[in-house]
């Protein structure tokens, strides 16, 4: 038995099976994963690795395990999508941990959460003073959503009764020195217009630009290869190998 | 067309994977004269029963060569454990044939046969 060859073939099978299953199971981000999703991911990954390197048993048995776990995960997704009651049971629900600025200590105890954990999550949200918090909700994926008291909310153009232009999203016109014609057409612009704009930034040829984007408000962002920055600021706090 | 390919390519890939993982079941079958393991086992059983040890010895060498050939084909669809068991039985069979031990040889022959039947199934 050529073990190396068998491992290579099994690795290819596991890799592409995982890829297909991951696509099938959707686009949930790591941050959106519930605890169960997290465990599910680890288990599926572990079965895939077993299928690859555990040559003592057939790849087929591990592969079936992989498919069944993924199928069950898919089934759970469908159930939670169509049946809210089940979704509440399976995925949990958001819980208010701070209400009207008061910490709900009984709720925290029930959820096995410490006040220190809440404070940490608040700091992650940029909140360092509990007095600023009106509501804090612990989401089912473990993240904390914070609603600050009205007086601590950031000022918006609406508060100031200012009219603002919609900026929309940026579209890449040049990427890595290459003009993206399709995006130019989409933004109703042409090469001539682009080159005229670039001249204002001292760019004579598209290849001199690393990235050029245009937003719906007509504002250009230009980044040249030659930034004229001699020394990049070092933000490291400890002298390392680099 | 694009939607068809999005479904067809992963489906075809999974089907190929299933076939590879089940390949031992099909590829263990003899493709020629020199890789016919069940045929060799049958003739060896006959030689051992009649205590024709020289013929049994020659047949064993052919069985061993046939197994080497088949092993290269079935390794992707079978587990190391079942291959190891078959390997061990063949090694014990050689010992029994060399020792001209009729009972031992027959025991090993039937064990090899059993492992062979189980291979890939």
- ipTM of the complex in this document: 0.85
Q: How far apart are CA B48 and CA B94, in angstroms?
A: 12
**Per-residue confidence (pLDDT) for residue A32, from 0 to 100:** 63
**Per-residue confidence (pLDDT) for residue A168, from 0 to 100:** 83
CATH superfamily of A95-152: bsu07140 like domains (3.30.240.20)
Q: How far apart are CA B73 and CA A35, in angstroms?
A: 43
pLDDT tier for residue B91 given thresholds of 50, 70 and 90: very high
Q: What is the mean pLDDT of chain B?
A: 89
* B71/A58 Cβ within 8 A: no
Compare CB distances from A20 to B10, B20, B21 and report the shortest one's residue: B10
Compare CB distances from B75 to A6, A17, A23 and report the shortest one's residue: A6
Residues of chain B with Cβ-Cβ distance to A6 below 8 Å are 75-76
Domain B2-118, what architecture? Up-down Bundle (1.20)
- Say what percent of chain A tops pLDDT 90: 33
The total number of residues shown for chain B amounts to 121
How far is B51 from chain A, CA to nearest CA, in Å?
33
**Per-domain residue ranges of chain B:** 2-118
pLDDT above 90 (res A137): yes
pTM: 0.70
pLDDT above 60 (res A185): yes
A17 touches chain B (CB under 8 A): yes
For B19-68, what is each residue's pLDDT tens digit? 999 988 888 888 887 888 888 899 999 999 888 988 888 989 999 999 98
Q: How far apart are CA B47 and CA B61, in angstroms?
A: 14
Q: Mean pLDDT throughout B69-76? A: 88
Beta bridge partners of A146: A136
CATH superfamily of A171-224: bsu07140 like domains (3.30.240.20)
Most confident of A76-90, A154-168, B104-118: B104-118
A58 touches chain B (CB under 8 A): yes
Residues of chain B with Cβ-Cβ distance to A59 below 8 Å are 21, 76-77
**Per-residue confidence (pLDDT) for residue A28, from 0 to 100:** 61
pLDDT above 70 (res A29): no
* B71/A1 Cβ within 8 A: yes
Q: Mean pLDDT throughout B76-89? A: 88
Compare CB distances from B79 to A5, A20, A57 and report the shortest one's residue: A57
Q: What is the mean pLDDT of chain A?
A: 86
**Per-residue confidence (pLDDT) for residue B110, from 0 to 100:** 92
Cβ–Cβ < 8 Å for A34, A141: yes
Q: Mean pLDDT throughout A46-53? A: 91
**Per-domain residue ranges of chain A:** 3-88, 95-152, 171-224
A100 touches chain B (CB under 8 A): no
Residue in B3, B5, B10 to test binding to A, most A beta-carbons within 10 Å: B10
**Per-residue confidence (pLDDT) for residue A10, from 0 to 100:** 93
Q: How far apart are CA A90 and CA A76, in angstroms?
A: 8
Q: Mean pLDDT throughout A104-131? A: 89
A3 touches chain B (CB under 8 A): yes
**Of the listed ranges A106-110, A234-238, B25-29, the one predicted with least confidence:** A234-238
């Amino acid at each position: 038995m050529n073990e190396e060859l068998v491992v290579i073939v099994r690795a290819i099978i596991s890799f592409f099976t995982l890829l297909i299953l991951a696509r099938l199971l959707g686009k949930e981000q790591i941050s959106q994963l519930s605890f169960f999703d997290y465990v599910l991911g680890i288990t599926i990954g572990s079965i895939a690795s077993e299928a690859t390197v555990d040559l003592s048993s057939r790849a087929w048995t591990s592969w079936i395990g992989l498919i069944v776990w993924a199928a069950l995960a898919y089934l759970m997704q469908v159930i939670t999508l169509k049946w809210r009651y089940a979704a509440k049971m399976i995925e949990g629900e958001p819980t208010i941990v701070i209400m009207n600025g008061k910490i709900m200590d009984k709720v925290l105890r029930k959820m096995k959460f410490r006040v220190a954990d809440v404070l940490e999550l608040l700091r992650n949200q940029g909140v360092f003073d509990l007095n600023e918090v009106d509501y804090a909700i612990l989401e089912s994926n473990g993240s904390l959503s914070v609603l600050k008291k009205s007086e601590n909310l950031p000022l918006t153009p609406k508060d100031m009764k200012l009219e603002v232009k919609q900026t929309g999203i940026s579209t890449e016109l040049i990427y890595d020195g290459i003009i993206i014609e399709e995006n130019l057409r989409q933004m109703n612009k042409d090469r001539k217009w682009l080159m005229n704009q670039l001249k204002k930034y001292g760019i004579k040829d598209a290849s001199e630009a690393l990235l050029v984007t245009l937003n719906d408000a007509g504002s250009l962002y230009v980044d040249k290869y030659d930034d004229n920055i001699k020394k990049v600021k070092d933000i490291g706090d400890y002298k390392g190998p680099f | 067309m694009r939607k068809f390919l999005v479904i067809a390519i992963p489906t075809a890939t999974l089907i190929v994977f299933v076939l590879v993982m089940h390949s031992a079941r099909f590829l263990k079958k003899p493709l020629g004269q020199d890789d016919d393991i069940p045929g060799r086992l049958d003739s060896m059983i006959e030689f051992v029963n009649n205590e024709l040890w020289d013929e049994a010895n020659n047949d064993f060498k052919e069985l061993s060569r046939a197994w080497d050939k088949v092993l290269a084909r079935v390794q992707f669809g079978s587990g190391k454990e079942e291959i190891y068991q078959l390997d061990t039985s063949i090694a014990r069979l050689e010992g029994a044939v060399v020792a001209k031990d009729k009972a031992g040889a027959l025991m090993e022959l039937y064990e090899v046969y059993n492992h062979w039947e189980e291979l890939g199934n």
